[in-house]
Structure 1
């Protein structure tokens, strides 16, 4: 972090800026990893990550940088989110998670600050800056999920009605928070509304969240959903959802399609 001139007899640390985060990430860049990540995240023409730019920074290093700059102001986080560089957007979201968690501590909970962070995050989602599956998965359950845990969840159904792949995935992944708290109701209701979305990244998210309902909360809640909906589910979603069921039960649900 840079230093500003001394005031009243001592140096005062200046708040970090987006350029500081960029410089820290650049120190971990690896061209070979960047090439691999461009293929892994489907950045070719017509693919879901078309045009995304990678430095080749591995996730543990990105997390380390984000932790170092946890006090980054929201406007500077926004600058990183508007970057074409994937790792800069990921670092921004990890910092935003930390800001939300700090404002959510029980003894010092600040709902005004939490609300600002939620609106900031949703604005980034809506303008297409949380625009790959890892960015959604690293943030939705840490910001939107906790915010809605004890609130009305209409927002998630609004997101699920949007055409945006990423907004729909945010809706589904936000419910992971509820699942971990023992409440599968919103996940099941959302899943029923998204059965017809055959995009691969929605299929995987839908099946994954259903699987977690059966794994973490109640297997009968999962099987009850499948009894009603398996025939209408896509192959990928059904495969993910039934992954932890006995082989004969998995085969029976597959036969319903």
Structure 2
């Protein structure tokens, strides 16, 4: 069955899209996705194939997740999500065991809030803080993006604490992720976001701040950006 899904993914490959993916996901030398390889499948096609092969044995899903091809890994993550409800422990063990293969922003964003998020609900969340304090960009992004699940349930405390931990991060992919989560908090409770921003907005990376205040009224945005809020 593993050979069948690999064959189907290969049959849907597109050389032009693959070349575009190298640029879009920065897989070129020196880029954050350096060394990744692409087949050039669209996400909707990968979701469709994942649904078709959702009963793929999880040991084979894990093998797919270890593939050198980006689309193999993303499709494997989609299959894990489809199996999460009925096989929580096994799915999460595979996910955490192969977290080094969740190694680009789309892989993180498509999986962390849908796997780690629900799994950690009403559980100890220390693993998120360990990931946030690691020296691995993708694990750090997993930490903050996982909190999107809690944010959607109006639970902001871990998102705010992890945002604090990542405030001085040097990579713009973390700046964007933190800013995005702060913006999502603001959509649900602007006062909570404002309290956080008033404490940190003068020292936050510019990209993080811009993402966080994207939905603010223009006059307020300009005051914040000028540091006169």
Q: Which residue of 1 aligns with 2:128?
A: 156
Report how far residue 88 of structure 1 moved: 0.3
* Residue of structure 2 aligned with 1:221, choices 192, 207, 212: 192
* Residue of structure 2 aligned with 1:175, choices 139, 142, 147: 147
Greater C-alpha radius of gyration: 1
Alignment of 1:61-80 (within 5 A): 61-80=45-64
Deviations 1:154-189 (A, max 9, x none): 111111000100000000111010011111111111
* Residue of structure 1 aligned with 2:92, choices 105, 118, 122: 118
Could you tell me how far apart the structure 2 residues matched to 1:253 and 1:72 are?
51
SS at match of 1:231: coil
Deviations 1:190-232 (A, max 9, x none): 10111000201111101001100011x2011111100001112
Normalising by structure 2, we get a TM-score of 0.97
Q: Is residue 2:221 matched to residue 1:247?
A: no
Instruction: Count how many residue pairs are aligned between Structure 1 and Structure 2.
Output: 228
Report how far residue 150 of structure 1 moved: 1.3
Could you tell me how far apart the structure 2 residues matched to 1:202 and 1:153 are?
20
Question: 1:226·1:253 contact (CA, 8 Å) conserved in 2?
Answer: no
Q: Which residue of 1 aligns with 2:111?
A: 139
Could you tell me how far apart the structure 1 residues matched to 2:139 and 2:58 are?
21
Of 139-148 and 150-159, more deviation after overlay is shown by: 150-159
Could you tell me how far apart the structure 1 residues matched to 2:41 and 2:201 are?
40
Moved over 6 A (4+): none
Could you tell me how far apart the structure 1 residues matched to 2:14 and 2:41 are?
6
Could you tell me how far apart the structure 2 residues matched to 1:250 and 1:51 are?
39
**Root mean square deviation of aligned Cα:** 1.2
Name structure 2 gaps, 5 residues minimum.
none
SS at match of 1:232: coil
Report how far residue 115 of structure 1 moved: 2.1
Deviations 1:119-138 (A, max 9, x none): 2111111xx20001000000
Could you tell me how far apart the structure 2 residues matched to 1:251 and 1:221 are?
20
Could you tell me how far apart the structure 2 residues matched to 1:67 and 1:232 are?
45
